Amino acid sequence: MSDYKQQIDYSMPRQCGLYPPPPYIYHNMRAILAIVQCKPGIKEKYLPPEFEPIDYGIDIVFVTEYPESNLGPYNEALVLLNCSYKGNPGAYVFNIYVDSEEALTAGREIYGYPKKMCDIKLSPIEENKVRGTLTRKGITFLDIEVDLLDRAPGMDPSDMISNMPLYNLKIIPDVFDNSKPQVRQLTETILSWDVHKKLGANTSYLKTEYSKFDICHEVLEGAKTNMGAFYVECDQTLPNGRPLE
């Protein structure tokens, strides 16, 4: 992680905190994004009541490698559910996994990202294929492989990301009262990408495994996975977000 100026009372621990303030800049990241479509009726079970599911919309499985950032190098994976907030379409961050304590803590405490630690692998390009796996507590609960195409994707991934609000529910428990959180705040963040390379892809397979510690299998089981995919190499910026309510 690059050096940064310490800010006392910015975050825990109050001296020598785990992470600097946003924005977070990611250079030379690479990622696969697979477009899926959850079964109708499944998202209502998992979305907070403030969000309206968009059935037959674009849900996304996203596995990425960040070799350089001001949070240090790490890998990340997300499951995004297409929904709307007060009529504004976006994506609810259903689950997000990282392999770095800085990324875990900053994501949870600032934005409300529902992050867990996980062993995440994103393979190099081999025979025009890229594979991503997520293993946690001994269970590989998500395994995805895409076949790269010799053309750009049908939609521009940078345009899609820049125009897709990421919705979260930030929850911080109360120190005394276990019946309700001290903080329950809806948040919105919007990424931006400066894309260096983009290729269309097809999802050759997306496998999920039941785990009592994670519920990706439950929301992705039976989802349509032949919706297309893409591979990108780019620079990413994650700015401050904003509270919705």
Q: Domain residue spans in the chain?
A: 24-239
pLDDT of residue 162: 84
Residue partners of 68: CB distance under 8 A and separation at least 6: 26, 27, 28
CATH topology for 24-239 is: Acetoacetate decarboxylase-like (2.40.400)
pLDDT score of 153: 82
Counting as low any pLDDT under 70, the low residues of the chain are: 1-6
| d(C-alpha 43, C-alpha 117), whole Å | 24
Kindly report, residue by residue over 14-56, the tens digit of the pLDDT.
888 899 999 999 999 999 999 999 999 999 999 999 999 999 9
What pLDDT does residue 183 have?
96
pLDDT at 76: 98
Report how far residue 83's alpha carbon sits from residue 61's, in angstroms, rounded to the nearest whole number.
15
pLDDT (0 to 100) of residue 205: 97
Burial class (CB in 10 A: 0-12, 13-18, 19+), 43: buried
Digit-coded pLDDT (tens) for 78-97: 999 999 999 999 999 999 99
Beta strands in the chain (DSSP E): 24-36, 51-53, 59-66, 68-69, 74-85, 88-98, 115-117, 119-122, 129-136, 139-148, 166-173, 181-189, 192-208, 229-238, 242-243
Whole-angstrom distance, CA of residue 96 vs CA of residue 133:
13
Proportion of the chain in helix, strand, coil states, percent, rounded to 5: 10, 50, 40
